[in-house]
Amino acid sequence: MENGCSLQMDEVLASVAEKVKNFAVIYVVDITEVLDFNTMYELYDPSTVMFFFRNKHIMIDLGTGNNNKINWALKDKQEFIDIVETVYRGARKDRGLVIAPKDYSTKYRY
């Protein structure tokens, strides 16, 4: 299951990269190869998506209680694009915490 979650999210990230290229760049990092931020950002899930703007970590309120990252696989490409657009708009307005376009508190098991 863990590997499937990661592969599913990788597929979504790869498929939206071209669509969001005007306001976002997607980097995929293997946390077993790049260990520097594992402790700082609590990176231990099979798949984790974090947002940064001008070298600043942007937190997003998804309704899950974890405002630092998305640690489950999103299946819907448009849904992920909507999240990226929301984070971008909020980060440009210098908001440290952005509110997600919808509440994920009951949708996913995290």
Residue ranges per domain, the chain? Answer: 2-99
Q: How many CA atoms lie within 13 A of 19 on its CB side?
A: 14
Indicate the pTM of the whole model.
0.85
CA distance 93 to 107: 28
98 phi, psi to nearest 5 deg: -105, 140
What is the average pLDDT score of the chain? 88
C-beta pairs of 49-56 under 8 Å, 24+ apart in sequence: 49/9, 49/13, 51/84, 51/87, 51/91, 51/98, 53/87, 53/88, 53/91, 53/92, 54/91, 56/91
- The answer to whether 13 and 26 are in contact (CB under 8 A) is yes
pLDDT tens-digit series, residues 15-67: 999 999 999 999 988 888 888 888 888 888 888 999 999 989 999 999 988 89
Instruction: Please state the rounded mean pLDDT for residues 87-104.
Output: 91
Residue 1 pLDDT greater than 50, yes or no = no
Q: Given the structure tokens 């640690």, which residue do they identify? A: 71
pLDDT at 104 (0 to 100): 87
pLDDT band at 108 (very low <50, low <70, confident <90, very high): low
Note the Cα 25 to chain centre separation in Å.
12
Q: Which CATH number fits domain 2-99: 3.50.40.10, 3.20.20.70, 1.10.10.10, 3.40.30.10?
A: 3.40.30.10
Residue 109 pLDDT greater than 90, yes or no = no
pLDDT band at 78 (very low <50, low <70, confident <90, very high): very high
pLDDT at 110 (0 to 100): 47
